Amino acid sequence: MSNRRDPVIVGLADAPLEDGKFVTRASVLGHAALVAKAAVEEAGLTLDDVDGLLTAGMWGVPGPGQLATVTLGEYLGIMPTFVDGTNIGGSAFEAHVAHAAMALREGYCEVALIVYSSDQKSLRSRNLGGRPSVLSMQHETPYGMPTPVGGYAMAAQRHMHEFGTTSEHLAEIAVAARKWAQLNPAATRREPLSIDDVLSSGMISEPLHLLDCCLVTDGAGAIVMTTAERAKNLKTRPVAVKGYGEAHTHWAIGEMPDLARLLPAQKAGERAMKMAGVSHSDIDVVEVYDSFTITVLLTLEALGFCKIGEGGDFVSGQRTAPGGGFPMNTNGGGLSALHPGMYGMFLLIEATRQLRGDCGERQVKGAETALVHGTGGTLSSGATVILQKD
Amino acid sequence: MSYDKPLPVIDHDSAPYWEAARAGRLDIPLCSDCGKHHFYPRAVCPYCHSDKLRFDTVSGRGEVHTFTIARRPAGPAFADDVPYVVALIELEEGPRMMSRIQTDDPGKVRIGAKVEVTFVKATDEVTFPYFRMT
Ligand SMILES: [Zn+2]
């Protein structure tokens, strides 16, 4: 049953990187503007058509970044009448898609632009000194918690303890991601990688090794959404937003209700799949946030692709690699393609490209339905989007 | 010697907790309505949302719920501590709290290990509850 106001994705763009850094010389907002312009123009629209602006970022804080949509709207010279600056970490953009979808259905918005940009690699601005020791963080930061890796390490330790998951299981995920990256000319790390390489890459925060951790790169991306009706007169083939869900449980890892079970993903995933009317066997391609290898394991279990505790077996034998039977993170993911701080935008871009059939060597044949799941904070938030070829 | 690691920014919710730690006690909020302890200290109970809370001195005993051995420091201030164990302790009374395990042998720390609190003075204002295995 389709409706003329059903939400669709009609435009996308991402900034070229070289060695994980921006190629173009522009500020962090400049890169946001350049991908925004490219994404609307791809659809046959202009920035003047945009009446909905959604963004989240880590730039300009404290300062203009505290009111991110306002500052970005100013830079773009537009006056949006629907805005959403929801920031729940790297999953924010999946939540933005949900919120834009509702605004489009309601007639509150006609053309929604979702944007992200970060120049953390070029600026060397990534904060490794821990989180300011205020409010709930006064009970975490002073103990020397490595952030963000320490919280993920604690979840991995717990998963290993409860279910017998091993470092080899986690390494399978990193190696599979690298194999996809080798098929993606835009990926940052493309040299061969073995399970032994991951295991011997040095402990960062036990039990996680260096190569269990995502890259640190720059990156900018944008997505344009409109209604099915408006899309008929545009230049691209629309990809339909069929379902969505979002949830969060905690900020401090010590407050995570169950460190071996990712409840936000369970909640968001169930809701999104029910709304879309799809089951697991309908999903042709899966793009899930891989900030760390353990993130993927917890997410696959929580989304119901396997039982809780069986994620290790599920990813064994390079199941998620090209040709492995479960196409996942097909651009190489945050582990091997790019990870500019909040990666969720790039999950959406890759899923849309797969459904358009634009992925060249790494194209998943016959991909019609994609599941995208972002995770933000320290396993804090989750947001799922189900996309379908129109 | 000055203390160069991050210190808690103490607020009205947490002041009694830090004050007790300075005096060598582990005091955490207890809800008069649902009877549950919670941590970190809040003005409203996270379980039943009652505001009838008081600070209660707890046993200081618990077990390691999970942990990580930091092989790289959380910033330069912690460089001399590496490797060190950050652990989530589940107290006998139920709540979990983040802390450090004091040990000469990080490799001996296990999930489920029994621990008890020990107080480590950082500055005149701040004493941290650390834990050691028993
Ligand atoms: Zn209560």
State pLDDT tens for residues A33-54: 999 999 999 999 999 999 999 9
The Cα of B66 is separated from the nearest Cα of chain A by a number of Å equal to: 6
Which residue do the tokens 């009652």 mark?
B50
Q: Over chain B, what is the mean pLDDT?
A: 97
Please give the pLDDT value at position A1.
60
Q: Inspect the interface and report whether the beta carbons of B72 and A204 lie closer than 8 Å.
A: yes
Chain A and chain B share a number of CB contacts under 8 A equal to: 116
pLDDT(A371) > 90 = yes
> Which value does ipTM take for this structure?
0.97
Asked if residue A153 belongs to a domain, the reply is yes
- Cα A140 to averaged position of ligand 1 atoms, centre (Å): 23
pLDDT(A128) > 60 = no
Provide mean pLDDT across the span A241-256.
Answer: 97
Please give the pLDDT value at position A121.
93
pLDDT(A2) > 90 = no
Asked if residue A201 belongs to a domain, the reply is yes
Which among B68, B76, B81 is the nearest to A153, CB-wise? B68
Question: pLDDT exceeding 90 applies to what percent of chain A?
Answer: 96
Provide mean pLDDT across the span A100-126.
Answer: 94
Question: Domain total for chain B?
Answer: 1
Asked if residue A38 belongs to a domain, the reply is yes
CA-CA distance, A171 to B58, in Å (whole number)?
A: 41
Provide mean pLDDT across the span A239-253.
Answer: 98
Same domain (yes/no): A193, A233 = no
pLDDT(B1) > 80 = no
pLDDT in tens, A291-316: 999 999 999 999 999 999 999 999 99
Same domain (yes/no): A66, A183 = no
DSSP secondary structure, A232-299, as one string: TTSSSPPEEEEEEEEEE--SSGGG-S-TTS-HHHHHHHHHHHHHHT--GGG--EEEE--SBHHHHHHH
Question: Domain total for chain A?
Answer: 2
Please give the pLDDT value at position A124.
78
CA-CA distance, A136 to A148, in Å (whole number)?
A: 15
Does A139 contact B at CB distance below 8 Å? yes
- Interface with chain A: mutation pick from B63, B86, B109, highest number of A CBs within 10 Å: B86
Provide mean pLDDT across the span A364-387.
Answer: 98
CATH number of the domain to which A35 belongs: 3.40.47.10
Asked if residue A199 belongs to a domain, the reply is yes
Same domain (yes/no): A109, A186 = no
Using a CB-CB cut-off of 8 Å, the residues of chain B touching A207 are: 68
Q: Kindly indicate the confidence band of residue B2, based on its pLDDT and cuts at 50, 70 and 90.
A: confident
Same domain (yes/no): A233, A263 = no
Asked if residue A140 belongs to a domain, the reply is no
Provide mean pLDDT across the span A236-246.
Answer: 98
pLDDT in tens, A270-295: 999 999 999 999 999 999 999 999 99
Provide mean pLDDT across the span B4-11.
Answer: 96
Same domain (yes/no): A87, A204 = no
Asked if residue B54 belongs to a domain, the reply is yes
pLDDT(A324) > 60 = yes
Provide mean pLDDT across the span A223-228.
Answer: 98
Residues A76, A33: contact at Cβ < 8 Å? yes
CA-CA distance, A367 to A369, in Å (whole number)?
A: 6
Same domain (yes/no): A209, A316 = yes
Asked if residue B81 belongs to a domain, the reply is yes
Q: What's the number of CA atoms in the CB half-sphere (13 Å) around residue A65?
A: 14
Provide mean pLDDT across the span A217-243.
Answer: 98
Same domain (yes/no): A177, A296 = yes
Which among B68, B99, B112 is the nearest to A150, CB-wise? B68
CA-CA distance, B43 to B70, in Å (whole number)?
A: 33
- Interface with chain A: mutation pick from B11, B81, B96, B98, highest number of A CBs within 10 Å: B98
pLDDT(B37) > 90 = yes
Asked if residue B59 belongs to a domain, the reply is yes
Asked if residue A47 belongs to a domain, the reply is yes
Does A164 contact B at CB distance below 8 Å? no
Q: Over chain A, what is the mean pLDDT?
A: 97
- Supply the range of the domain harboring residue B85: 15-133
- Supply the range of the domain harboring residue A337: 147-215+244-389
Provide mean pLDDT across the span A363-378.
Answer: 98
Asked if residue A200 belongs to a domain, the reply is yes
Same domain (yes/no): A202, A222 = no
Same domain (yes/no): A226, A334 = no
- Cα B51 to averaged position of ligand 1 atoms, centre (Å): 8
Same domain (yes/no): A257, A324 = yes
Please give the pLDDT value at position A390.
84
Please give the pLDDT value at position A125.
67
Please give the pLDDT value at position A126.
62
Same domain (yes/no): A339, A370 = yes
Asked if residue A138 belongs to a domain, the reply is no
Does B12 contact A at CB distance below 8 Å? no
Nearest-CA neighbor of A218 among A5, A30, A83, A377? A30
Provide mean pLDDT across the span B72-91.
Answer: 96
Provide mean pLDDT across the span B4-30.
Answer: 98
Q: Inspect the interface and report whether the beta carbons of B98 and A139 lie closer than 8 Å.
A: yes
The Cα of B39 is separated from the nearest Cα of chain A by a number of Å equal to: 9
Does B100 contact A at CB distance below 8 Å? yes
Q: Inspect the interface and report whether the beta carbons of B73 and A146 lie closer than 8 Å.
A: yes
DSSP secondary structure, A223-239, as one string: EEEEEHHHHTTSSSPPE
